[in-house]
Amino acid sequence: MYKLFRPILFLFNPEFIHHISFKAIKIGALVPLKMWTWRLLFKVSHPQLKRKVFGIKFENPVGLAAGFDKDAKLFDELASFGFGFMEIGTVTPLPQDGNPKPRLFRLKEDNALINRMGFNNEGIEAVVARLRRKKSNIIIGGNIGKNKLTPNDKAVDDYEICFEKLFPYVDYFVVNVSSPNTPELRDLQEKVPLTRLLNRLQKLNIQKEKRKPILLKIAPDLSNDQLDDIIAIVAETKIDGVVATNTTIDRSGLKTKAKALDSVGEGGLSGIPLKKRSTTVIKYLHKKSNKAFPIIGVGGIHSAKDALEKLDAGATLVQVYTGFIYEGPALIKRINKAILKR
């Protein structure tokens, strides 16, 4: 059904359609029995799908990646689409507009997106206000970042603010230092600043009555030496896992013509072109660390086969975003059914 409407949706600006889709889902959820119908259509419930990862019980291993519901506006409604968990954010302490529009682009020939959103969000206070009104039992991850105007030597303060404010309302945290769309953010992936940041968050975490899992989201563009550093940092800081991977700045092997890519400009590439590299990163981390920590695999999952490849590479859970946009909510059901057939 979704694929019948997709050509019409793809006639319009991607960010415009994103907001229209949000409104449509929000309004649709008000119709009696509509959310029940969505659950009937898309949700797969089975004991073999359940997972316990970093101390959290997941109904199934398929989640929605950060960036789709940045401001925590739609998590209760999206829970009806069969997700086992979802991430809100990336959230920053203060509201910010992000980068100038247009900043989201489809590469239809490649089943991909390029975005340079720039952590546009309404700020931590607005997100917390919505999470307080949560009705569903969906597992929520809080993806946290720094404001664009915050210099890197003060970045830890921004992450601490988000951590403290979100703590009562999310089930786990993801530290985002890997977006290519905030100037100098990826510099925080270097060993010294990253270790300092994670240690500070862990210090706050152990002071709580019950700590919550902290994960690190990494870029696909890291070298093997840098991935070795990530493995060492996870061991040293004792965080709970890694989300692999964020979007890539690599443009090699695309079917989209160079002229069209030039007109788009900078941004992070997601979708099928990211699939192979993200799976390679997952496999490397899994083997080189000797399975030392859980990995949430994300990047280029557009089919059940793609998700199974991530799980076989060493991911414990998977997330979709661009695949969800191209394939629709039936993708979640197809993945869960494929897992059950194994």
Task: Report domain extents, the chain.
Answer: 2-341
Catalytic residue among 21, 80, 136, 179, which?
179
CA 332 vs CA 42, 72, 83: distances in Å = 7, 20, 7
- Please give the average per-residue pLDDT across 188-206, as a whole number: 97
Q: Does 2.60.120.20 match the CATH number of domain 2-341?
A: no
179 is catalytic: yes
The tokens describing 224, both together, are 């093997």
- According to the model, what pLDDT value does residue 53 have? 98
Residue type, 275: K
Instruction: Check: CB of residue 181 under 8 Å from CB of residue 119.
Output: yes
Q: What is the pLDDT of residue 1?
A: 79
Mean pLDDT score across all residues of the chain:
97
- The percent of residues in the chain predicted with pLDDT above 90, rounded, is 99
Averaged over 129-143, what is the pLDDT?
Answer: 98
- pTM score above 0.85: yes
- Span 84-93, pLDDT tens digits: 999 999 999 9
pLDDT class of 3 with cuts at 50, 70, 90: confident
CA 4 – CA 9 distance, rounded (Å): 10
